[in-house]
């Protein structure tokens, strides 16, 4: 099955700093989503981005499907950005249309 690797695994930032999170996947995908998991466990949708670039406020994402990676950019980070960031992919060629989650990036933003 598809392997989804995220880097870095952990990241500590000072408030106001910028960061780039990466998601690599081992096979072609049809869907790709980025999520932020808050301290209470809820997965918050950030982007649905199977290809191309999107921006939402301080966050933006780019997926280059042909090269099998996606990037999540966080600018001017705030303490509320802390948590775990997951990318998740779907491959319609598999037995199910399940979301396959990456290994996650744990982000801590310090005041």
Partner 1 sequence: DAGVTQSPTHLIKTRGQHVTLRCSPISGHKSVSWYQQVLGQGPQFIFQYYEKEERGRGNFPDRFSARQFPNYSSELNVNALLLGDSALYLCASSPDRANTEAFFGQGTRLTVV
- Point out which residues bind partner 1 (CB under 8 A): 30-31, 33, 35, 40-43, 45, 48, 86, 88, 90, 92, 95-104
Output 7 or 75, the one with its CB closest to partner 1: 7
Output 37 or 75, the one with its CB closest to partner 1: 37
Instruction: Give least dist CB 86 to partner 1, A.
Output: 6
In angstroms, the CA 60 to CA 53 distance is 7
With CA atoms as reference, report the closest residue to 89 among 69, 105, 74: 69
The DSSP secondary structure of 18-37, one letter per residue, reads -EEEEEEESS--SEEEEEEE
Instruction: Give least dist CB 103 to partner 1, A.
Output: 6
């Amino acid at each position: 099955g598809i392997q989804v690797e995220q880097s870095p695994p952990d990241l500590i930032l000072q408030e106001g700093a910028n960061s780039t999170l990466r998601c690599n996947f081992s096979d072609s995908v049809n869907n790709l989503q980025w999520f932020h998991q808050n301290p209470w466990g809820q997965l918050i949708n950030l982007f649905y981005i199977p290809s191309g670039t999107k921006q939402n406020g301080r966050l933006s994402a780019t997926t280059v499907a042909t090269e099998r990676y996606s990037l999540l950019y966080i600018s001017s980070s705030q303490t509320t950005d802390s948590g775990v960031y997951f990318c998740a992919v779907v491959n319609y060629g598999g037995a199910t249309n399940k979301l396959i989650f990456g290994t996650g990036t744990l982000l801590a933003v310090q005041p």
